[in-house]
Structure 1
Amino acid sequence: MAAQWLPAPALAVLALGAWQALCMTVYRGKGYLLPSPLDVAGAAANNATLLAGAASTTLREAVLGYVLAALLGIALAAAMSQARLLERCLYPYAVLLQTVPVVAVAPLIVLWSGYNERSVVLIALIMALFPIVNNTLLGLRSTPVQLLELFALHRTGRWRTFIRLRLPAALPHTLAGLRISAGLSVIGAIVGEFIIGAGNAAGGLGVQIVFAQGRMDTALLFAEVIAATMLGFALFAAASGAGRLLLRHWHESVR
């Protein structure tokens, strides 16, 4: 069991060692370009209260955007799976949300909604929406034909077939989309905070990254980037853990 989990920590130790070696050789005396791991750890310890408050703000915005994206995405996919006309009308616009650069759209959202957390939540929602819609729709369209014919043979109604067959069959695909969107919601929150960063010194990690960059506090900047990365990883791990609990007794991907 230990050997199963050993490679990831070992790789992290090797990466830290390579980082420290670079700081002692190529970037020696250039901490403003690449601070050492110890400098970053010291900056994190000295600004623990700031990092904790910023991380909690970003987490709240990301989770709100994520939950709204999950509810809206699953509802849209369910509606599109029931009517091809509705799918042809709505799916191209879902694709547009994915293809239009959110950095280009974010200033418009802030302009319309204001320099507040609501804008950040909307940007996080936009970032997280498409994988949920796409994967859920794929799952709903991939229900085994034999099972659909069996339900039809027993004269099961369309609504009952959808609830008892299509939705459970689509669950692995939906959970895959939710795992992808967990990290994307954090990215969306950070991007939104970049946009509103000039107007709120007490904001989330994205705001603090903007201020640390302006002060050329590279060690703190690294600490904030690592905190944002760990935040995205934590949301991904939570979504993966929930998926394992839901699938562990019946689906091959977990069993």
Structure 2
Amino acid sequence: MVMAQSRLIEAILYPYAVFIQTVPIVCIAPMIIVWFGTGEVSIAVISFICSVFPVIANSTTGLVSTDPNLLDLMRLYGVSRWTSLVKLKLPYAFPYIATGAKIASGAAVIGTIIGQYQAGVAGGEGGLGYLIATAASQLQMDYLFVAAVVSCLMGLFIFYGVTGLTNVLLRDWHAVTHVDT
């Protein structure tokens, strides 16, 4: 939201968001594990890094895509920037934010598995990523197949959970939610 309010802030912060998105997470994950340890904090940070960019990109696009005529009308009535943000820009941008959240849900599952893979191997802890790492090292194809199916089901469950939540939240605002996904 901050980037959409100021072009200067967007010019400063957006390249960092793009940088984080373009560097392979398998390169960043070991550094995160060194900084945060092998526990769940590292896994959450890795998952966050994998999933935050779609939300940032879509939120920024949605906030700057508000109808300029409506913004002019708000200015004409002397509405403050804060009120304009809360009453006009956020509702206008919410479908974009929801789309970013849907995209991020799959990336979060991937980030979590990569985090478990890296942190689990380092700390000897469980998790789907650790199962994948140990099964791959022992060439246990049956375990790898089950891990792939479970990760797919997790991704679908989270995606459709986010989709259902956004459809409920957008039900009365936008016709877009009535399209089957």
Match of 1:229 in 2: 152
Shift of 1:200: 4.2
In the alignment, structure 2 segments of 5+ residues that lack a partner are: none
State how far apart, in whole Å, the 2-side matches of 1:203 and 1:181 are.
24
Note if contact 1:201-1:208 (Cα within 8 Å) is conserved in structure 2.
Answer: no
Match of 1:113 among 36, 44, 65: 36
Shift of 1:202: 4.2
SS of 2:176's equivalent?
Answer: coil
Match of 1:217 among 136, 140, 148: 140
Shift of 1:216: 2.6
Match of 1:187 among 93, 104, 110: 110
What TM-score do you get using the length of structure 2 for normalisation? 0.93
88-97 vs 107-116, which moves further: 107-116
Match of 1:151 in 2: 74
Match of 2:177 in 1: 254
CA displacement, residues 34-75 of structure 1 (integer Å, 9 cap, x when unaligned): xxxxxxxxxxxxxxxxxxxxxxxxxxxxxxxxxxxxxxxxxx
CA displacement, residues 200-224 of structure 1 (integer Å, 9 cap, x when unaligned): 4441100011122233321122111
Shift of 1:193: 1.3
Is structure 2 residue 120 aligned with structure 1 residue 197?
Answer: yes
Count of matched residue positions in the alignment of Structure 1 and Structure 2: 178
Max Rg structure = 1
Give the 3 Å change call, closer, same or farther, for CA 225–200 of structure 1 in structure 2: farther
Look up the equivalent residue of 1:123 and give its one-letter code. I
Match of 2:95 among 158, 172, 175: 172
Look up the equivalent residue of 1:232 and give its one-letter code. G
Match of 2:5 among 82, 102, 110: 82
Look up the equivalent residue of 2:47 and give its one-letter code. A
Note if contact 1:200-1:207 (Cα within 8 Å) is conserved in structure 2.
Answer: no
State how far apart, in whole Å, the 2-side matches of 1:235 and 1:212 are.
25
Is structure 2 residue 40 aligned with structure 1 residue 139?
Answer: no
Shift of 1:166: 0.5
CA displacement, residues 121-149 of structure 1 (integer Å, 9 cap, x when unaligned): 11000001110000000000000011111
Note if contact 1:172-1:247 (Cα within 8 Å) is conserved in structure 2.
Answer: yes
Look up the equivalent residue of 2:101 and give its one-letter code. L
Match of 1:208 among 127, 131, 146: 131
Match of 1:99 among 11, 22, 30: 22
CA RMSD of the aligned region, Å? Answer: 1.3
State how far apart, in whole Å, the 2-side matches of 1:198 and 1:244 are.
39
What TM-score do you get using the length of structure 1 for normalisation? 0.67
Shift of 1:152: 1.4
The percent identity for this pair of structures is: 38
State how far apart, in whole Å, the 1-side matches of 2:169 and 2:153 are.
24
State how far apart, in whole Å, the 1-side matches of 2:96 and 2:151 are.
27
